[in-house]
Amino acid sequence: MQKKEYTITVYTENQIGLLNRIAIIFSRRKINIESLNTSPTEVDSVHRFTIVINETEDVVSKLCRQIEKQVEVLKAYYNTEDEIVWQELALYKVSTDAIAEKVKVERLLREYGARAVAIRKDYTVFETTGHREETDNLIKALEPYGLIEFVRSARVAIIKGSSDFHERLKEFEYKEPGEDAIENEFLDKKDEVFSM
């Protein structure tokens, strides 16, 4: 099987230490996390992890099952790029003098949908959202004008297929952990590791 980019979405209770335990699942298998974002959801008691990795579908499927063994995890899904709507936020710091002197830069920023979020005497910070290729292309375009600094956020993603999704998510708010979830607390480390 060929490796490709997958976005793993994990719905959880908001518990201290859960991020560390999920990260350990990846590090034990020597899987690099390309992007990681955590945020609240539309349901008060439910949080969401969005994790991007490059792996085979078989490995990603096993990872999701392993993640779901954590008591606080409600559900883990994985999707390809075609099955989600996603964006990343990027910030670019450029010399204010370079911007002021060159009208081309202003046209360039409009072309990429960038907007100024901070204007100082010595630098200006621009912000844009888009896919990684789009934010990378703006880096290349700004470099000749004195790009000082660049930072990009983790991916935020929404699954395209969403029939009754909100209702299913709200159900998690009222559920007590089942017997199988309680048993998972007592698994020894040997049971947590699966062969790849």
Q: Are residues 90 and 73 in the same domain?
A: no
Residue 168: pLDDT band with limits 50, 70, 90: low
Flag whether 10 is in a domain. yes
Instruction: Report the C-alpha gap between 190 and 176 in whole angstroms.
Output: 27
Amino acid identity of residue 147, one-letter, is: L
**Per-residue model confidence as pLDDT tens digits over 111-154:** 888 988 998 999 989 999 999 999 999 999 888 888 899 999 99
Domain boundaries, position 124: 85-152
**Per-residue model confidence as pLDDT tens digits over 148-164:** 999 999 999 988 876 66
pLDDT at 49 over 90: yes
Flag whether 170 is in a domain. yes
Flag whether 95 is in a domain. yes
Query: Model-level pTM greater than 0.85?
Result: no
pLDDT at 74 over 60: yes
Sorted by sequence, the CB contacts under 8 Å of residue 156 that are 6+ apart come out as 37, 39, 50, 86, 87, 88
Number of independent structural domains in the chain: 2
Q: What is the mean pLDDT of the chain?
A: 83
Q: Are residues 147 and 170 in the same domain?
A: no
Kindly report each contact of residues 169-176 with a partner whose C-beta sits within 8 Å and lies 24 or more positions away, as own/partner.
169/11, 169/41, 169/42, 169/43, 169/46, 170/43, 172/11, 172/43, 172/45, 172/46, 172/74, 172/75, 173/43, 173/44, 173/45, 173/46, 175/74
pLDDT score of 175: 54
Flag whether 157 is in a domain. no
Q: Give the CA angle between residues 82, 85, 87 to the nearest 5°.
A: 120
Instruction: Report the C-alpha gap between 66 and 175 in whole angstroms.
Output: 21
CATH number, position 129: 3.30.70.1150
Flag whether 133 is in a domain. yes
Flag whether 107 is in a domain. yes
